[in-house]
Amino acid sequence: MARHSKKARELLAEVAALDEHVTDEDTCSISLFAPTGPRSGPPFRTVAVTPDLSYRLRDTTLASLKKATEAALSDPDGVGPYAFDALPDHHISYLNVDEADFVGEWLDAIPAALEQPVFDGDQGYLKKIKHYTLKFSIADNKTFVRFRARTPAMAFKKGRIHAIFEANRFTHVAPNILEFDDVSDLLLFEGFLFVLNATGFDRVVDCAAKIKEIATGYMNDVMQQIEVANADEVVAKLSEDGAFSKKVLSMERLNITAQITGADLAKVIDDFGVDIGYKLEGDRIKLMLNPDDRSQMWRFLRLLSLDHVEAAATREKFVTHGAKRPVG
């Protein structure tokens, strides 16, 4: 069983049952996020809500989460650890915030609602909104936060003519309208970040810079173990490209390449016809890579992700870590 899997499933079961404990004392706070420049003010803005809207958002959110969590829990493989380098095979994936440092740093950087300026309907800010959060506090001091990326299904409108029927006539109103759906991309609960939508994770969690930093450091360490003709260019490509850097991050977390040498890679290339070149310089092996060849970069990462000793001994085709296709 994967690390923390039992705890994650217990927490999701608790989430599924939260609708049994709602009260009129429950609260909801909304925060909007839009990237802003130094002259545009803070990126987070809080939005005040009436009690009726708070309860409506709470009930629709809990109903949606109940459906998603029960579906995940009914499948033995429905809950699993989040993998940065691939779309998850699970209904719901999870991260322990204490063990994913950059996720913890991202969460710590989000100011409390009371510290955020109140959203005033600014049109420039509305157009840039990237995601919003709903923070609920319900019975027994249970708190959870729902994150939702802005999508085409969500409209942020202002100035359209609206009419409401009241007292046998239509009355003109022209409100600012923010349309919320009941979908959650991420759920923060009891120290776990649950990923219900992997695409939403990428849109909401601002950790690209941290992933790049980790990927750069790890690939520089790898380059101390093996020689690559244009190592600096290769490291830059693998660190700056989002898809590559996530793969490198997963390798760093598993420390897969700790024992790999240039001789290991050359043997793999020769034995299995992997389309990567190398040359001998005395008794040293130097790989020849083209950073602009994405297919070759993926082959290189797949080489670094493998158990070379076992595969060479069994003469079986190498496969990517956790995947079902050959390297070459």
| pLDDT tens-digit series, residues 44-98 | 999 888 899 999 999 999 999 999 999 999 999 899 998 776 666 678 999 999 9
Q: What is the pLDDT of residue 177?
A: 67
Average pLDDT over residues 15-36: 91
Which alpha helices (H) appear in the chain, and where do they start and end? 5-16, 51-73, 101-108, 123-128, 198-204, 208-225, 231-240, 242-254, 262-272, 294-304, 308-314
CA 207 to chain centre: 9
Q: What percent of the chain has pLDDT over 70?
A: 82
In degrees, rounded to 5, the angle at the alpha carbon of residue 268 between the alpha carbons of residues 262 and 271 is: 135
Which domain covers residue 238, as residue numbers? 209-314
Indicate the SS3 state at residue 281.
strand
Give the model's confidence band at 310: pLDDT under 50 very low, under 70 low, under 90 confident, else very high.
very low
Do 66 and 154 belong together in one domain?
Answer: yes
Do 29 and 162 belong together in one domain?
Answer: yes
Do 137 and 38 belong together in one domain?
Answer: yes
Do 181 and 244 belong together in one domain?
Answer: no
Angle, helix 51-73 to helix 5-16, in steps of 10 degrees: 140
Do 197 and 237 belong together in one domain?
Answer: no
Do 172 and 35 belong together in one domain?
Answer: yes
In-domain check, residue 328:
no
**How is residue 138 written in tokens?**
């319900």
Tell me how far apart the alpha carbons of residues 318 and 297 are, in angstroms, rounded to a whole number. Answer: 16
**Domain total for the chain?**
2
Q: What is the pLDDT of residue 312?
A: 46
In-domain check, residue 227:
yes
Do 221 and 109 belong together in one domain?
Answer: no
In-domain check, residue 323:
no
Per-residue pLDDT tens for 215-234?
Answer: 999 999 999 889 999 999 99
Do 169 and 299 belong together in one domain?
Answer: no
Q: Which of 184-198, 259-273, 275-289 is least confident?
A: 259-273
The more confident residue out of 138 and 209 is: 138
Considering 152, 185, 206, which residue would you say is the last residue of a domain?
206
In-domain check, residue 96:
yes
Indicate the SS3 state at residue 31.
strand
Tell me how far apart the alpha carbons of residues 180 and 134 are, in angstroms, rounded to a whole number. Answer: 10
Do 213 and 169 belong together in one domain?
Answer: no
Q: What percent of the chain has pLDDT over 90?
A: 40
pLDDT for residue 323 is more than 50:
no
Phi, psi (5° rounding) for residue 96? -80, 115
In-domain check, residue 9:
yes
Do 191 and 221 belong together in one domain?
Answer: no
Q: What is the pLDDT of residue 292?
A: 94
Do 166 and 224 belong together in one domain?
Answer: no
pLDDT for residue 325 is more than 60:
no
Q: Which of 24-28, 265-269, 296-300 is least confident?
A: 265-269
Per-residue pLDDT tens for 102-136?
Answer: 788 889 888 887 789 988 888 788 788 889 999 99
Q: What is the pLDDT of residue 155?
A: 60
**How is residue 279 written in tokens?**
């040359």
In-domain check, residue 322:
no
19 burial level (CB within 10 Å; 0-12, 13-18, 19+)? middle
Average pLDDT across the chain, whole number = 83
Do 155 and 83 belong together in one domain?
Answer: yes
In-domain check, residue 304:
yes
**How is residue 265 written in tokens?**
């890679």
Tell me how far apart the alpha carbons of residues 145 and 136 are, in angstroms, rounded to a whole number. Answer: 6
Q: Are strands 131-138 and 142-149 parallel, antiparallel or unpaired?
A: antiparallel
Indicate the SS3 state at residue 318.
coil
Query: How many residues make up the chain in this entry?
Result: 328
Give the model's confidence band at 162: pLDDT under 50 very low, under 70 low, under 90 confident, else very high.
low
Integer angstrom CA distances of residue 177 from 57, 161, 162? 15, 11, 11
